[in-house]
Chains A and B, each alone.
Chain A
Amino acid sequence: MLYEQSQLAVILFLSVVAIVVGISIQLMRRVTTPAGYFTAGGRIHWGVNGIAFVGDYLSAASFLGIGGMIATLGYDGFLYSVGFLSGWLVALFMVAEPLRRMGYFTFTDAIDSTFHSRGLRFVAALCTIVISVFYLIPQMVGIGALVTPLFGIPHYLGVLIVGVVVTIIVATSGMMATTYVQFVKGILVLVISVVLTLFLLQRGVMLPEQMDYREHRDLKTLEVQRTEAGYSIQTPNYALAPQWELTPAYAAGFVPVMEGQEVAPWRVEEHTNGHLLLQETQYIERSPDGTTLYNGAPPGAGRVFLVGTMAGIVVDGQRVDKTGALGPLEFLRTIYSSTVNIWPHTTYITPAGQMQVFYRSTVSGAELFKSGGMFRLNEKNLSARLDFISLMLALVCGTAALPHILIRYYTVPSQAAARKSTIVAIGGIGFFYLLSLFLGFGAMGSGFLNIMDTNMAVPLLARSFGIVLFAIVSAVAFTAVLGTVSGLILAASGAVAHDIMDRLMGIQMSATEKVVVARMAAVVVGCVAVYLGIVFEGMNVSYLAGWAFALAAATNLPALLMTLFWRGATSKGVVASMLVGMTAALTLILISPEMYVRYGLLATEAPLPLNNPALIALPLSWLTLVLVSRCTPAPSA
């Protein structure tokens, strides 16, 4: 069985929810002013804020996504974490202190502190909402991926339950509860990652036959022989689909095989002299009517089987079946010198819809320590190079532009505190990414990898050590999402209640009314987040976060930096740059090859072979700001 519902996991999970919601409701009575709601009064200690930054930032994208990417792609997943961490230095050196000096509650406050323009307030607030909602997508997808197998409920229900819980937390006590949740989460994420890494190093690496903690199942193979009557399969119950040689499957390297009434693609492993050897695959079928089948059945049917095994282990030139305990460097070196079973995938279109087929392939470990799993840089392909540069640009520029990170700068009392808390964050986040290197490579050979849902790699790795650790890691992953989603909903509610209704529209509200409006805005944003989490089910969350980073970078970064550092910036220039950046980034994402696959089409049909929009949208936004500023009058002193 793919997932066992663990009663312990469910109990732990519900306990976490109860504790967090309980704290929020207790704090609700203390939060009566806008300052209290949005910035916790501005008196949070820099050490607490630093760990809260860790908890705010290490969302599903990091805790689930990076490990999942490294587990399936190797080195290219690691490059994501290098990019993510690097963005913090831009935030530290350029944004942390100046922003703290200029602000009240929100990013819009900082931008508008020079210009005092209604148009700018509106656009900045709108952009905050869009970016926050966009970044909410990977969080809600991640939580759906986690909660679904845990409770045995459909993805949409998992997303709905979590959406409701988080909205309650934010709507009740805003930044106070959010800070505590993020602080606790930051500690939990770091501690559990250390624990999991230690368990992993203690177990070492082993061949699948040695894994006494799981059921081993060899992949099925079939032989196809050519006789006078034509090709046929000798194994009973299996038959070649009619006209199989003319199908899109065969053109893609697979043979459609019938087992009873069902047809499944089998990978052609060998094809010599009228004899084919076929190997079992796993596949996702997306029909135009919206249904998705996994190995020919709906998601809950349990047809998906876990993979993630070593093909051969070599230590110091000797082949072994298992290594025993390893040090950190030895662990990585062992994977490097061994052979690993990975599961690449191919996509093709059939009359029934889109087929994404995952097949096993054995590679040397060294292949997984260099680029190639996702970024085809070796092929000297121009679009692959541009896409890679675009992604690395988005990641390094995105952190300093994320609204939910920026608002956290207002919770500390001074600029020096803002600086110190950022440095604590960099240390914590850097440490986590180093650990996730081990978690990812460990999941690769743990025997508990779900190749069709890479977001589950780290929780399933924990599962390979037993139900208790799985339960704990799931609960921590849940708090990981909780912390970030709280921050995002808070940022968006701040944009609506404070930036738009209070400062822009000038609606007269008492302090209490402002807090009520902020709470209502939080509820609305929560509902939107739930909807999007359902629509984007299955997509790797780090990938989605890469998009959110590009959107934030293109929209906010030129506006923020130029407002802080260039006297020639005008409000019209800033408005134009934000609108251009946002429109360009969103448009490019919607026509990207990856989205085309989501639409049920082929990646090659996309008009532009660029998956990440930063390379085009960010310079465009910057240029717009400079040109429009030059053509419009300067702000009065």
Chain B
Amino acid sequence: MRADIRGITPELIQAKRRIGQRMVAVYLGVYALFVMVHVFFPAVPAIPCGGVSAGLVGGVALMLFAVLMALTYHVLCTRVEKRLTRTQNT
């Protein structure tokens, strides 16, 4: 079914696209760092940390970071939508 696209302007599309691209770059950067530490410094995730391993702490932190980024994205997009969406009446 066609989406409800009332009030969606090219400006709004561009703005949200930019937000998305920046956020994906940040997250993938952190993810890539996590992966590369495991590949090139395998001793680091094994370091004891808080009664478990640094790798486990890092992995859980990365997952929580993912949820945080998702919520941040929503806040930023909602803000931009309020600012740029034209309603049918204006």
Contact = CB atoms under 8 A, between A and B. Distances in A.
A385 interface: yes
A337 B51 CA distance: 8
B52 to A, nearest CB: 5
Contacts, number: 148
Contacts of B50: 329, 333
Contacts of B77: 416, 419
Contact of A78 (B28, B39, B56, B71): B56
B55 A370 contact: yes
A41, A75, A94: most-surrounded residue (chain B CB, <10 A): A75
Nearest to A330: B51
Given A92-B73, A396-B28, A82 B3 contact: no
Interface string A401-414: 00000000010011
B70 A75 contact: no
A377 B38 contact: yes
A42 B2 CA distance: 8
Task: Assign chain B's interface to a size class.
Answer: 35 or more
A419 B70 CA distance: 9
Contacts of B3: 42, 100-101, 103, 413-415, 418
Interface residues of A, number: 60
A82 B24 contact: no
Contacts of B42: 370-371, 377-378, 380
A369 interface: yes
Given A75-B53, A369-B56, A377-B42, A101 B5 contact: yes
B56 A396 contact: no
A88 interface: yes
Given A35-B1, A371-B38, A415-B3, A333 B51 contact: yes
Interface of B: 1-5, 8, 13, 16-17, 19-21, 23-24, 27-28, 31, 34-35, 38-39, 42-43, 45-46, 48, 50-53, 55-56, 59-60, 62-64, 66-67, 69-71, 73-74, 77-78, 81
11 contacts: A39-B1, A93-B19, A93-B73, A103-B3, A104-B1, A332-B51, A377-B38, A378-B43, A396-B28, A413-B3, A423-B70
Interface of A: 35, 39, 41-43, 75, 78-79, 81-82, 85-86, 88-90, 92-94, 97-98, 100-101, 103-105, 329, 332-333, 336-337, 366, 369-371, 375, 377-378, 380, 385, 388-389, 392, 396, 410, 413-416, 418-420, 422-423, 426-427, 430, 433-434, 437, 565
